[in-house]
Structure 1
């Protein structure tokens, strides 16, 4: 997991989403907006099987990630 967090930090991003080893979404935005943007871009099932690296995962973001 530290590999993903290191890449998040190196790129100056707040959210990275990987699927099959490829980045499918990234954002430097703040708060929960990047995750909501990812859900819009990838669709409701778009996070299934994905690895989500979030700079600061709060309760709302964690619940959204699990729900979607």
Structure 2
């Protein structure tokens, strides 16, 4: 059994968690849009920039979850 045959198993195991992460990334996208609009309207609000950075991390979450689960499968 080679490395090519067992990696899809990690993908399938991680899929439900990636779906949850996908919903979190959608929330992150909304927060990112709101944070960007608020930081453009009021540049003195530095917290909006931090909020936008947090939202970008949420948007990248599904990819990170799938990669983590894929790499956990020993081959």
State the TM bucket, normalised to the shorter chain: under 0.3
TM-score of the aligned structures, taking structure 1 as reference length: 0.23
Higher RCO, 1 vs 2 (CA within 8 Å, ≥6 residues apart) = 2
Query: Which has a greater percent of strand?
Result: 1
TM-score (norm 2): 0.22
Structure with a larger share of its residues in helix: 2
Q: Which has the larger radius of gyration?
A: 2
